[in-house]
Chain A
Amino acid sequence: MITAERKPFDEIIELVGDKKKVLVAGCDTCVAICLTGGEKEAEILASELRIKAEQDGREVEVEHTAAIRQCEWEYLDMIAEKVEAADVVLSLACGIGIQSLAEKFAPKLVMPAVNTNMLGMPQEHAVWLERCVACGECRIGLTGAICPVVRCSKSLMNGPCGGSHDGLCEVTGPDKEEIECAWALIWERLKAQGREELMFTERPPKNWSKSSSGGPRKMVREEAKPV
């Protein structure tokens, strides 16, 4: 799922500025599952903003709401009234949701209250690990369903580098935690599947033009378009 982290409170305050009517808009899909931007979290942020305004002696009206999905026009209709009434909307959705909301109600002032950080998998309750970067050409069929683009620190496509030791990467994570070497994991997985030969098979270079560096991507499914 898409994961996001709430921005520091001071940054949010700066984004709201001196606006008098604030709507905190949560999204009840991905960001609700990662406990960052669902209705509950929208209510908490709204309460914090009211406390802050009260402390500063400013008259600010703060409300909260949540769309089932902020990234779809239909669901945005359901919160239209509240959005229209606000001077600024603080969205707790992922980057897609925030932009959809801003586009739907343009030129309404819409601000992000979160940093969207990854496409992650919940490893355990309240811990998410990055598993995909939406590179546009999936090659994990050749790598035992372990993605070297995201899980190898160098995104190497043809085996490990010299920094792989005892199954661990020479790079450590943000909290100095050990990172497993993706290629060691791939090797073990392929061995368990009896497909080690894939490590020695020549594979065509990956087509990076399908990734995000060539401008915004677009997907059209002609057969699914309404007639």
Chain B
Amino acid sequence: MADTEVKAADAAVAAPEEPPKKPVDPGFEPEIIVFACHYCAYAAADLAGSMRLQYPSNIRMIKLPCTGKLEVIHLLRAIEAGADGVYAAGCMEGECHYLKGNLWARKRVDHVKHLLAELGIEPERVEMYNMSSAMGAKFAEVATEFTERIKQLGPNPVRRDGVSPHAAAREALGGVAMPDEAESAAAATVQEGHAE
């Protein structure tokens, strides 16, 4: 048997053992939860809007006074409720309004990556990003890049019909999540001292 034939035969045997590549479903629209810091990412999102920048509508934001308020369970709850991807967006490192909140958030996000790996779920479904309030373009870029990443990964293996990951994450955060202006302008004024 010629060398080439042996190789071809080997390839034919080896081929079925390779894990099949997950086909990307073009119709898949992921649901992504973003935990955004009030001082940077949330303002950057505002700026992106004012600049008329396009970014995917897959992301749903939850405003926090600082990403340092984010705990492991908040990220897990979003995944448990079926979020396809979750990311935290905090200030640039060294520029946290509360000094180190964003550094704590990064560590917690890394820990969740470890927990997801333990569960056999892709750790890439959670991420930590840093940006300043002046980075409207970066906000749009991150949203686009992350949405693309999740589209490649496909849906979260945990699907819960009738459960909103956004609502579940908000509920887990309790009073920590700041009211969304769009949701209720009135509630935003005095609640928990987070006056605008």
Contacts and interface: CB of A to CB of B under 8 A. Distances in A.
Nearest to B160: A54
Interface in A20-54: 40, 43-44, 47-48, 50-52, 54
Contacts of A54: 80, 157-160
A40 B118 contact: no
Contact of B72 (A8, A44, A51, A55): A44
Contacts of B115: 9, 44, 48
Nearest to A50: B80
Given A40-B73, A44-B72, A55 B120 contact: yes
Q: Chain B binding site: helix, strand, loop or mixed by DSSP?
A: helix
B79 interface: yes
B73 A51 contact: no
Contacts of A10: 118
A10 B159 CA distance: 22
A51 B72 CA distance: 14
Contacts of A55: 119-121, 157-158
Contacts of A52: 119
B122 interface: no
Contact of B118 (A9, A47, A50): A9
B171 to A, nearest CB: 13
Interface residues of B, number: 16
A125 to B, nearest CB: 11
B178 interface: no
Contacts of A47: 73, 76-77, 80
A51 B76 contact: yes
Nearest to A53: B158
B71 interface: yes
A32 B71 CA distance: 16
A10 B188 CA distance: 44
A52 B80 CA distance: 9
Counting chain A CB atoms within 10 Å of each CB, the highest count among B71, B119, B120 belongs to B119
Nearest to B71: A40
A44 B159 CA distance: 19
Interface string B36-71: 000000000000000000000000000000000001
**Which 9 pairs across A and B sit closest by C-beta, in order of nearness?**
A9-B118, A47-B76, A54-B158, A55-B157, A51-B80, A47-B80, A43-B73, A51-B158, A44-B73
Interface of A: 8-10, 40, 43-44, 47-48, 50-52, 54-55
Given A47-B80, A51-B121, 13 more contacts: A40-B73, A44-B76, A47-B77, A48-B118, A51-B76, A51-B80, A54-B157, A54-B158, A54-B159, A54-B160, A55-B119, A55-B120, A55-B121
15 contacts: A40-B71, A40-B73, A43-B73, A44-B76, A47-B73, A47-B77, A50-B80, A51-B76, A51-B79, A51-B80, A51-B121, A52-B119, A54-B160, A55-B121, A55-B158
